[in-house]
Amino acid sequence: MYEASRIAVRRVGVMGEEFERISMRAHAKLNLALCVGAPIDAPGTPAHGYHPICSYMHTIDLYDTIEIERAVLSGYDIRWAEPDGHTREVDWDIEHDLVVRIHRALITRVGSDLPCQIRVRKSIPAGGGLGGGSSDAASVLMGLNDIFALGLDRSSLVDIAMSLGSDIAYFIDPVSPHPRPAIVSGFGETIERVETGHAGQEITLIFPSFGCATGAVYRAFDSIVEHANPSESIVRACAGASELNQDLIVNDLYRPACEVQPAIGPLRDRIAEALGSGVHLSGSGSTLFVLGRVGAPLVHEVAPDCRVVHTRLC
């Protein structure tokens, strides 16, 4: 069972019958260092075409909220949460959402229907390189494991997760209120949790009005980046530093992301010049971030279409 600070469990009466309900937060992540290797050329194997990575990942205090309730029939309610308390529909077919897919993958794995109602209120931008969909999927997977008392261990959960996406495994951390920082390697399945003093570091997130498709960014990487093995030493230097600084943050997907979304480079340069500070890309983009707290008006002077959110590493 998760710690109470992460998930609340209670019994509620419905038509005289009690169903268990779980509420949780699915946190976003930043890639504070991300090194990417050449795709594996091994036709006929599961790894063919996949890129080995090494990344220092850290969750932030930005999250989606999820409720799972046991029910007679399954259903999904996935919507954007607006600042004024209203919601709006997501602009994709929820049948393709990772939450729905992970539920169905678990059903297949255990051979049981696992009927439930899943409600997601999303605050993490899609296509931003923050892992929102992966975090939602991991939270639902762990929540279903608890609510149906399936008894699957972390290795089994990771095995299910890896069939759907490489970022999901990082978010599977049942012993913590939020996924702990980690050095993530291989194809995303190797998770080395690390003790750092970086929690509490203030972060300013800058959201452009566009996203980046991860697949397109990796294809651009293959076409423009000199292939090599991901640099573990660079990632460990960032994770092991007593304090974060601009020089420690690296992202091999920055140039490919600029190929996919040419506006990213000039946008980052304008913001960096206005702030006199380094501006970085998380994951495959398009989210930019700055170490420290930066006033939104200063960013809006050079990037009026961007949304600014203040958060911290957690």
Residues with Cβ within 8 Å of 109's Cβ and at least 6 positions away in sequence, in order, are 156, 160
- Rounded Cα distance, 40 and 46, in Å: 10
- Rounded Cα distance, 139 and 132, in Å: 11
DSSP string covering 167-197, please?
SGGGG--TTSSSPPPEEEEETTTEEEE---S
- Rounded Cα distance, 250 and 35, in Å: 8
Length of the chain (residues): 314
Q: Which amino acid is at 54?
A: C
Task: Report the run of H or E that residue 54 belongs to, with start and end.
Answer: strand 53-70
Residues classed as catalytic = 29, 167
* Sheet of 288-291, strands arranged across: 280-281, 288-291, 202-207, 307-312
- Rounded Cα distance, 283 and 129, in Å: 4
**Residues 217 and 284 sit within 8 Å (Cβ to Cβ):** yes
- Rounded Cα distance, 135 and 314, in Å: 15
Task: Report the run of H or E that residue 143 belongs to, with start and end.
Answer: helix 132-147
Q: Using DSSP, state whether 101 is helix, strand or coil.
A: helix
Q: Using DSSP, state whether 242 is helix, strand or coil.
A: coil
